Structure 1
Amino acid sequence: MATCSLNDLLGLQSPLEGALQEAESQEERERLVLEYLEKVNGRAAGLRAPDFSPGLEWLNTDGSLSLYRALSGKLVVLDFFTYCCINCMHILPNLHALEKRYSDTDGLVIIGVHSAKFPNEKVLDNIKSAVLRYNISHPVVNDADATLWQELQVSCWPTLVLLGPQGNLLFSLVGEGHKENLFLFSSMALKFYKERQEIKEHRIPLRLYKDSLPPSPLLFPGKVVADPSGDTLVISDTGHHRILVVSKDGQILHTIGGRGSGWKDGGFSECLFNSPQGVAIRGNTIYVADTENHLIRKVNLDTLTVSTVAGTSNQGVDKEGGAQGEQQPISSPWDVAFGAPGVLWIAMAGTHQIWALLLEEGTLPRGSLLAAGTCIRFAGSGNEENRNNSYPHKAGFAQPSGLAVCSADPWNCLFVADSESSCIRSVSLTEGAVKHVVGGERDPMDLFAFGDIDGKGINVKLQHPLGVSWSHKEGILYVADSYNHKIKTVDPKSKSCVTLAGTGTAGNVPGPSFTDTSFNEPGGLCAAEDGRLLYVADTNNHQIKVLDLETKMVSVLPVFSAESADVVDSALPLRINNPKLPKSTPNVRLAPLSVSPGRTLHYSLDLKLPAGAKLTEGAPSFWFLFTEGHDWLLTGQKTYGEIGTLTKPSQIEVTLPLQFPSADPELRVGVCVYYCTEGTLCMMKSVSFLQPLHTSTRDTSGSSTAPLLLSYAF
């Protein structure tokens, strides 16, 4: 069967597009499309699309699909996309709306054809995460080698190709902003082919990948910031469409939104977000980049309310700005950062620019006096480029996704993670000049200069970095090198870049050292004010990882709801410092045990969860030993351990010292369990076992013959 490319279709479709622009009514537009279909249908035999290559990986289906078998008799919309592309994200709402209007039984099927830009995007597991993150419910094929892309001669992301019921090429829509024509072409094509009885109503066998997603306290967390006081963290729980304010130990203090996606201001329990990303906190105020709502939101922790301060909820195309916040349309804000005085900086990924929201009256570098509330472009022409320039409006960015303000001399700048150019840039807060720091390439049009190479300046290669954080204490920049699954450091003075943590392979192993630890597309990070801890939003692992920069240890922040704020230390479960249990923890007093110096005690934990509950992945449960006034008991002991499963009870051993400095001590065993039931948050429950020990003059040294059972039902 002969096939053709989009270039063969161009000569037919171009006159139609010109005529549609001149049409004065919807009726005329529909007539023009039907006349076009008559013409193109007559050439159907010569305008056939190639079929999907055999052996490709499919998602959201029961198996592979064929244009000329399973999809025969359907109007097929091919969406050529790559999941890093902001423009591809912009058309997803249009595709969702089209799916809502026309189902497969109506004769329309959408197929996502994933054609990767970055090597990391060719991996099926990473595409799975994107399908979940963007709530894609139509079939997706991993065309990792871009075979269909090349056969059809597709030239850019996104591209939509509409096929008729015989696999014949009908229309092509390149780029975003074609919703009206997408619906017009689809509705007229269905009408045209239904009248010819060529549309079939059979169902396409779907098996949505999202149905296999287990419950999790976090879902694709995008960004994390620490309050300067160090007491709280703010997490954009992007997949749950909410903002969480948690203690440094992980206890949820405020849940803001999360009842589904949408736009609604008001109290914390009634407000709605849509895939929020960047967050910035100052005092009792949080600003949020509400990405897919195209809004900047303000969270007031005093009044427990959310309000909109910039954006109209419609995706903006304005690349200049200057209106008051709520009258100014904006496009996919991805990160926010506080500047001084009174400026909120915005990484406007959708228009490839850096914007500013004036929180109070003031001026921007090289600018005039602006009224409070003004939302305006500061840097970036709006062209997707890696172009540096002394004049900020002439510079070009490529999907800026992470911001960090550095007020220290000599920089006084805004560091930018410019994701699509795979480099780190700086924007002077004195004169506005945009400069290169590391990564990318000298050619401003080359957006394919990526890799995983440490070094200096232009020799550094990153892969789609999404987050940056400035360490005031160390004077270095931390970078979430997202598609390399690494955390790196950049010294802006020497322009040197080195890997701090991560194996370079996607995974979820909090290893014994930074280089043994694995991440999965970390999207944001934040250095604590004291410089000791680095918090990482490990996005595809649905976790916040904590890197202790002094001990070089890594832990997972357990995110949980609890009745008491008096919780265990944040670095658990991989290390324990001064562990504490909630005040409400039940205490189980065991029968006194007669012991002699040198004896080894064996305990076995027998724990029971509520029916249907499971231990929470990513917040490992654990036990630990402690005493009150008898620390000598624990000298040389293993004082904590993880509880990985309930089917194989955890074993605890305590070898008593040869000398007892005091008589009748008490040994305590603390247990913290994180578990989830379907549809709930991860809950933390705890129990404490108290074991009185009575010294004995009789020689009972050596191991006990059977373990002592520590049993409790949560």
Structure 2
Amino acid sequence: MAGVSGAQAQLEAALLEAAGQIQKEQLILQYLGKIDGGETELKAPEFAEGLEWVNTETSLLLHKDLCGKVVILDFFTYCCINCMHLLPDLHALEEKYSDKDGLVIVGVHSAKFPNEKVLKNIQNAVLRYNITHPVVNDADAKLWQELEVTCWPTLVILGPRGNILFTLIGEGHKEKLFTLISVTLKYYKDKGEIMDHAIKLKLYKDSLPPSSLLFPGKIAVDNATGRLAIADSGHHRILVTEKNGEILHAIGGPKSGWKDGSIFEASFNSPQGVLIKDNIIYVADTENHVIRKIDLTSEMVSTIAGTGVQGTDHEGGKTGVEQSISSPWDLAFGTFDSTKDSLLFIAMAGTHQIWVIFLEDGKLHSGIEYKKGTCIRFAGSGNEENRNNSYPHKAGFAQPSGLSVALPEWNCLFISDSESSTIRSVSLKNGAVKNLVGGERDPLNLFAFGDLDGIGINAKLQHPLGVAWNEKRSLLYVADSYNHKIKVIDPKTKQCTTLAGTGKPDNVIGAKFNQVTFNEPGGVCVGEHGDVLYVVDTNNHKVKVLDLEMQTVYVLAITAAVAVDASKSTKPKISRLPKSAHSLQMVPLVVSCGQTVQFCLKIDLPEGAELTEGAPSYWALFAEGHDWLFAGQKISGTIVDLANHPGVFFVIPAQVKTNALLLSIDVCLYFCKKNDNSCQMKGISFQQPLQFSNICQDTISKVNLSFSF
């Protein structure tokens, strides 16, 4: 592509000197007129036969199916953070121009890691990133080589005859990309070369069944309560569950967004890292490029760092929403002094650094003091490399994606540095960055990966995304994501060995560690005071639990609500409704022992609204101080379809212990409006007085519980 590259270099220089948008467009038109047609015109090679395609009915031919289109070839590999950063620009472009307008984007997946060559894994990535254009698996990098592509991401823009027009390398070209496409479409439309035929798509996401979790990213446990916080990344929400998986809160989802406020109205965009402690949850809201705080006591969500737009700052120093950040991927609590958990460390994947937020006034190891809320670089130059150094700002990381603090024994921060396939450490005493396992000594070699147990750099990992320190056992657990394994490291000896997983990307729920399989596990955390390891099995949409004592495995059952046997409980389950829930007083109902009471839900949602798939809409019964009323009966349940809900049933027991009581029927609904993609959670508490007669009868009494939003 030397001819085009030389001409484009001249265009780039001229564009820098251009006085305004009109002049830029004129320069591009002149460039197109110069390179279009003629003996110097370069044509892109045809897609090879037998290539695997995603999101299409059949394979595509460049010079047949895409003839008459301006085509953008997006050369990417799905692990690459820079490739992820480019996707919003491509999404925006597709919203403005369709194939009818003459534009088609084709993702050309040219893998870095062997795991990324597998079609199923590419399909999962297409789902994860909501890619809706055709993607071809260039597994052998044939097209990459023929078009002389050298790095990810690279865009090659073709004209309607498959003629090569432009090449854009890297991210951050949105304005230029839009201008190039706008002018190019106009140029070829004026020449009559644009064709408006449709490209036959068959989106992979349309073939998938719904699930409780969708590409979950990370998990955290509050050891004081046993509660879990799960980043349900594909559903753009945070789940708070009991340790048995019962959902207590679902915050955000199902659509992406960036909205603070009530936990019932807040929204997220592909969140990853989570921490939970004392009713506070911190969230790395990755694709919003912000850090969020969820206060479960006040039921409010706030942004504590980030502007909502991807930042390029490599230093920091500002506070709150004034400080821009880039693709935060994981979080960890830490401290440099006696103030416990006064720091929030961030794996800043987008700038290949480690940052820190001061949760209280404090100072770094250097002695410099910072005010509460300050967000600043802690380690990493910003260069993408595997460079260790005694000075933290001179060290280099490559897409750090997992964090875990080891106190007090090691007094360091362990890091899973995914693109260098290493596990690293940063001293909290002096900031020194060291290698623990994986990689090699050349800091510029980011291809030293594999699947090999061993010591130090003799061990090999493949794109690890998660780490978790086990204080009780003095061991570090690693989600070796692209090897589909969980590994364990002894920091004293640097010995790295396989703990669980066969290495095959599958979903076998084996009872033993050597039988279970994973598919790109993305997060790990230690629970039960060191005896349990929670594993986020990302591509299997599950959380698997490893019992470190018994060496057994089970799947965490994510449920919206569970039936409770009130005869075995000292207190009925009290549902948790939002503070804004409506309360309706019902007319007293006379009932008798042995009688069945059926409450029929007649609830009208706002026009255009539907219950949210996978969200925990539910009903629950309780009568304060009267457990006997529900003895042995189901007192809570899920709601998935209001129109066909069977209603709420319970039978008055034979032994009635009072003349009257107040029954509460609580209904909690998650719903979304299709027309504006807004989602809400609403609660209604029907207050039903019950009066008991002296006569027992085997009858059914039906009561309509009606409400319209």
Structure 1: runs of 5+ lacking an equivalent: 568-577, 590-615, 618-668, 688-714
Q: Secondary structure at the match of 1:514?
A: coil
Indicate conservation of the 8 Å contact 2:32/2:165, yes or no: yes
- 2:394 partner letter: K
Q: CA deviation at 1:679?
A: 12
The residue number in structure 1 matching 2:358 is 358
Structure 1's 354 and 96: CA in aligned 2 closer, same or farther, altered over 3 A?
A: same
Is 1:34 the counterpart of 2:29 in the alignment? yes
Structure 1's 675 and 548: CA in aligned 2 closer, same or farther, altered over 3 A?
A: farther
C-alpha separation between the residues in 1 aligned to 2:65 and 2:534?
47
Indicate conservation of the 8 Å contact 1:352/1:400, yes or no: yes
- Residues 656-667 of structure 1: matches in 2 within 5 Å? none
Q: CA deviation at 1:498?
A: 0.5
Indicate conservation of the 8 Å contact 1:566/1:581, yes or no: no
Indicate conservation of the 8 Å contact 1:564/1:582, yes or no: no
TM (norm. structure 2) is 0.80
The residue number in structure 2 matching 1:84 is 79
The residue number in structure 2 matching 1:406 is 406
Indicate conservation of the 8 Å contact 2:562/2:637, yes or no: no
Structure 1's 675 and 465: CA in aligned 2 closer, same or farther, altered over 3 A?
A: farther
Q: Deviations over 1:355-375 (max 9, x none)?
A: 000111100111400011100
Task: Give aligned-pair identity as a percent.
Answer: 63
More displaced 10-residue stretch of structure 1: 73-82 or 227-236 = 227-236
C-alpha separation between the residues in 1 aligned to 2:330 and 2:570?
35
Of 250, 260, 263, the residue aligned with 1:268 is: 263
The residue number in structure 2 matching 1:63 is 58
- 1:482 partner letter: S
- Residues 3-14 of structure 1: matches in 2 within 5 Å? 5=1, 7-14=2-9
- 1:392 partner letter: P
Indicate conservation of the 8 Å contact 2:354/2:378, yes or no: yes
The residue number in structure 2 matching 1:471 is 470
Indicate conservation of the 8 Å contact 1:215/1:677, yes or no: no
Of 215, 220, 224, the residue aligned with 2:219 is: 224
Q: CA deviation at 1:282?
A: 1.9
Q: Deviations over 1:311-331 (max 9, x none)?
A: 001100010011112101000
Is 1:298 the counterpart of 2:297 in the alignment? no
Is 1:559 the counterpart of 2:558 in the alignment? yes
Q: CA deviation at 1:259?
A: 3.7
C-alpha separation between the residues in 1 aligned to 2:305 and 2:564?
34
Q: CA deviation at 1:678?
A: 9.2
- Residues 586-605 of structure 1: matches in 2 within 5 Å? none
Q: Secondary structure at the match of 2:19?
A: coil
Q: CA deviation at 1:217?
A: 0.3
The residue number in structure 2 matching 1:458 is 457
Q: CA deviation at 1:512?
A: 2.5
C-alpha separation between the residues in 2 aligned to 1:216 and 1:317?
36
Structure 1's 498 and 679: CA in aligned 2 closer, same or farther, altered over 3 A?
A: farther
Indicate conservation of the 8 Å contact 1:472/1:529, yes or no: no
Structure 1's 125 and 534: CA in aligned 2 closer, same or farther, altered over 3 A?
A: same
C-alpha separation between the residues in 2 aligned to 1:318 and 1:302?
34
Q: CA deviation at 1:228?
A: 1.7
Is 1:200 the counterpart of 2:199 in the alignment? no
More displaced 10-residue stretch of structure 1: 339-348 or 40-49 = 40-49
C-alpha separation between the residues in 2 aligned to 1:398 and 1:179?
24
Indicate conservation of the 8 Å contact 2:76/2:154, yes or no: yes
C-alpha separation between the residues in 2 aligned to 1:507 and 1:486?
11
- Residues 228-377 of structure 1: matches in 2 within 5 Å? 228-340=223-335, 341=339, 342-377=342-377
Q: CA deviation at 1:146?
A: 0.6
Indicate conservation of the 8 Å contact 2:561/2:637, yes or no: no
The residue number in structure 2 matching 1:19 is 14
C-alpha separation between the residues in 2 aligned to 1:185 and 1:523?
37
Is 1:143 the counterpart of 2:142 in the alignment? no
Q: Secondary structure at the match of 1:132?
A: helix
Is 1:546 the counterpart of 2:545 in the alignment? yes
- Residues 44-59 of structure 1: matches in 2 within 5 Å? 46-59=41-54
Q: Secondary structure at the match of 1:186?
A: helix
Indicate conservation of the 8 Å contact 1:226/1:232, yes or no: yes
Structure 1's 445 and 345: CA in aligned 2 closer, same or farther, altered over 3 A?
A: same
Structure 1's 44 and 84: CA in aligned 2 closer, same or farther, altered over 3 A?
A: farther
C-alpha separation between the residues in 1 aligned to 2:563 and 2:470?
32
The residue number in structure 2 matching 1:107 is 102
Structure 1's 371 and 170: CA in aligned 2 closer, same or farther, altered over 3 A?
A: same
Q: Flag as ranges the 4+ runs of structure 1 deviating above 2 A.
A: 42-46, 563-567, 578-584, 673-680
The residue number in structure 2 matching 1:388 is 388
Q: Deviations over 1:79-118 (max 9, x none)?
A: 0000000000000000000000000000000000000000
Q: Secondary structure at the match of 1:255?
A: strand
Structure 2: runs of 5+ lacking an equivalent: 575-593, 595-612, 615-631, 651-709
- 2:374 partner letter: T
Indicate conservation of the 8 Å contact 2:111/2:117, yes or no: yes
Q: Secondary structure at the match of 1:470?
A: strand
C-alpha separation between the residues in 2 aligned to 1:552 and 1:103?
53
Q: Secondary structure at the match of 1:424?
A: strand
Structure 1's 580 and 90: CA in aligned 2 closer, same or farther, altered over 3 A?
A: farther
- 1:338 partner letter: F
The residue number in structure 1 matching 2:670 is none
Q: Secondary structure at the match of 1:389?
A: coil
Q: CA deviation at 1:46?
A: 3.1
Q: Deviations over 1:283-306 (max 9, x none)?
A: 111110000000000000101110
Q: Deviations over 1:135-188 (max 9, x none)?
A: 000000011001100101100000001000000000100000000111010000
Indicate conservation of the 8 Å contact 2:41/2:164, yes or no: no
- 1:163 partner letter: L
Q: CA deviation at 1:22?
A: 1.0
C-alpha separation between the residues in 2 aligned to 1:679 and 1:458?
58
The Cα RMSD (Å) is 2.9
Is 1:504 the counterpart of 2:503 in the alignment? yes
The residue number in structure 2 matching 1:191 is 186
The residue number in structure 2 matching 1:649 is none
Indicate conservation of the 8 Å contact 1:44/1:169, yes or no: no
The residue number in structure 2 matching 1:697 is none
Q: Secondary structure at the match of 1:211?
A: helix
Q: Deviations over 1:206-232 (max 9, x none)?
A: 000011111000000000111021520
